[in-house]
Structure 1
């Protein structure tokens, strides 16, 4: 099996009157693209074989920017520069490839379009229609000889672009939010939900690439926000007494399931990030074992999530949600909403929160604090239906959400630490270290419990105070 990686140089500055094409440098955006692609090339194994590049300045600088972005201690790829790769002709590039000697089965070619894309299309019938700057194609080819390559012989093809590995770069092309300042409540809600749907779908490639955890975080946030807004609509319509929103409850259940499918992976990402920022109180060997174990769990969870996102029923469910949002039934339900009904439901939720807060005790189960966190989120999402009216109130929720979120994180870490310890039953010393760490986290949880129970009730004299 031959492994071929085709990397288009990152974005270069436009050709100037006195600057030959081969001397065009990278733009600032191009440097960001190259740096973002570095971990992706590492994960895909593109830097493990021979690296051959066009000698053009923009390809050289692409490699340089990637090398600078590699983790500390990672050797920079040693590239060979070949004048034959400074070509825009796919046939010329194919002819060069077929002259390579046997021996190296993994090759990264850094070059130019349209040559790279034309070569990919010759090798695979599934090649994409375009290859943006900084984009990478990975092809698996049968046999062991480059000379024996045949048309459409690739057994697998994968594509990755900078906007799928860097959420910061993705934001440049992310769906723009609609202008809703002059919309009424119904129009604003439908506009918000439609925008959230477009964001979720646009984030999916980045989630599946699995390079930047921010894609997963934003995907999860927007799914949960969609569900929360939908639940607020459902609760408000029901508050009217005879209001209905046929099909909404079923759609919200689907959104909940899709969001829950991301929970473990998101928790693992947060835990791994915390380990990188502050080494845990473990011996070096145990820390390495924990890090490797968590990474393996994250890999498994990511593969599982990717399989779900790739299933036909996922696309069908998401398209059904979009159709529901655009349907007359949902619009009629939105038309029955009013600010006073929203306020009535908000007051009910605040009263329920205050009752649950007052019932907390130092010995209350962790789940009681988790339920309170969920209640605060539901209150926030409902208040955000009219953010101007509740600006001060929303600002005051921030500390409460932070405390409850920190408590949730500590509980999650305890669960993963216990699972890690249980995975090595023949390592009693490791178990002792993990137990001691969990005890330390338990002390932090007790302190947070006291802070949470000391919070003031949310209930205020009336809507004007919010």
Structure 2
């Protein structure tokens, strides 16, 4: 089996002042692309084998940018620069590859389009039709020697681009939110729902790539915001088909919950490690990473199934349905205000009912209610600007409480696994102490939530 990785050079500056094409350097964007791709390339094993680089300035600087991010890998010292790789002809690349010695099982080529893409499509019929700057194609080839390469012989092809590894890069190319400041309520609701649908679809590649947790976070936010707005529309009037769509949005958002909790917990461990030994922390961290990988694989598999595509298609059809548009025309700011007032009143009732011994679930339900209130108020952000600003501390307190609860659940599950593996008693004792410290912080937050003012005292009036 041979592994072939094709990496297109990062974004380069345009030639100017008589500069030859081969001397074009990387742009700042190109440098950022490689900073985002370095870790994922290493995790994929794409840099483990031989490294062959075109002789142009932009391909050399692509490798140097990776080398800067991964100094321990000595990429620049291992690289070779065959002049044959400075080509835009895929057949020339094929000729060069088939002359490689059979003992080399894994290589990465840093070169140019259309040669890289043409070679990939010759090796695998269903290969992608595009390869942006900084993008990678990985092919698995069931051959013992490079001389045996044949048309459409690759068993699989994988694709990874900088905008799938970095949400910061993705954000620069993400769908732009519509300008709805002067829009009527019905056009505002439809505009927001349509934008959120587009964002969900645009975020999917980053979610399945799994290298930047922010993709999953924003994916969840857009699913849940759409559901919250849709539920508000249902509270005002009946829309055929909306209930079913909302049910599936809820299921899709719920399928991401464990993975998102793990992402947050792992980030917390990196930024604020607990007072436990390095050995215990490593054991917990490794177990959490294993759980994260399993759940990410399950989510990616689910998103690749026909049922997922069917759910997305149903959602898209609803957004373009005249029935929805007619129903939205009946939505007025006054109706939104009425539904919002009902939700605020229910929130305040639940807040007043909180006691020192109230279960954690009471605060979880309060957190969900605050989110639904916020999403509804965001339908008219100018009207509720001060009110929305006042929700921030409330959401922060309830969000931190929720995070602590999920962290406790994962630690308890980890203790069971560690116990089965027969760890020393000190590791279990440390984890139990860790749980106690989280419980103490939860108690502080519980009291802080109980001390919050009712939302009716902070809600702004038109």
TM-score between both structures, scaled by the size of structure 2: 0.96
Aligned to 2:441: 444
Q: 2:265 aligns with which of 268, 271, 274?
A: 271
Aligned to 2:369: 375
Q: Is the 8 A contact 1:3 1:140 kept in 2?
A: yes
Aligned to 2:229: 229
Aligned to 1:297: 291
Deviation (angstroms), 1:461: 8.8
Q: Is the 8 A contact 2:348 2:455 kept in 1?
A: yes
5 Å-filtered alignment, 1:292-371, equals: 292-371=286-365
1:384-435 Cα distance to aligned partner (Å, 9 max, x none): 1111111001100000000000100111111111111111212233221111
Q: Is the 8 A contact 2:387 2:458 kept in 1?
A: no
5 Å-filtered alignment, 1:60-71, equals: 60-70=60-70
1:7-58 Cα distance to aligned partner (Å, 9 max, x none): 0100111122332222110011111111111112112110111111112111
Q: Is the 8 A contact 1:362 1:449 kept in 2?
A: yes
Deviation (angstroms), 1:462: 7.5
Aligned to 2:455: 458
SS of equivalent to 1:81: coil
Deviation (angstroms), 1:132: 1.0
Aligned to 1:168: 168
* Distance of aligned partners of 1:2 and 1:403 in 2 relative to their CA distance in 1, 3 Å threshold: same
SS of equivalent to 1:424: helix
Q: 2:131 and 2:73 mapped to 1: Cα distance?
A: 27
5 Å-filtered alignment, 1:64-463, equals: 64-70=64-70, 75-76=74-75, 78-237=78-237, 244-425=238-419, 426-427=422-423, 428-460=425-457
Q: Is the 8 A contact 1:196 1:223 kept in 2?
A: yes
Q: Which deviates the most, 426-435 or 451-460? A: 426-435
SS of equivalent to 1:159: strand
1:168-212 Cα distance to aligned partner (Å, 9 max, x none): 111222112223233210111011101110110011011111111
Deviation (angstroms), 1:298: 0.6
Q: Is the 8 A contact 1:343 1:463 kept in 2?
A: no
Q: 1:144 and 1:384 mapped to 2: Cα distance?
A: 60
SS of equivalent to 1:154: coil
SS of equivalent to 1:19: coil
Q: 1:326 and 1:186 mapped to 2: Cα distance?
A: 14
SS of equivalent to 2:455: coil
Q: 2:458 and 2:204 mapped to 1: Cα distance?
A: 44
Aligned to 1:45: 45
SS of equivalent to 1:178: coil
SS of equivalent to 1:423: helix
Q: 1:461 and 1:174 mapped to 2: Cα distance?
A: 34
Q: What is the root-mean-square deviation of aligned Cα atoms in Å?
A: 1.4
Aligned to 2:26: 26
Q: 1:74 and 1:420 mapped to 2: Cα distance?
A: 33
SS of equivalent to 2:140: strand
Deviation (angstroms), 1:234: 1.2
Deviation (angstroms), 1:317: 0.8
Pairs aligned (count): 458
Deviation (angstroms), 1:263: 0.6
Which consecutive residues of structure 2, in runs of 5 or more, have no partner in the other structure?
none
* Distance of aligned partners of 1:54 and 1:462 in 2 relative to their CA distance in 1, 3 Å threshold: closer
Q: 1:263 and 1:221 mapped to 2: Cα distance?
A: 11
Q: Is the 8 A contact 1:90 1:119 kept in 2?
A: yes
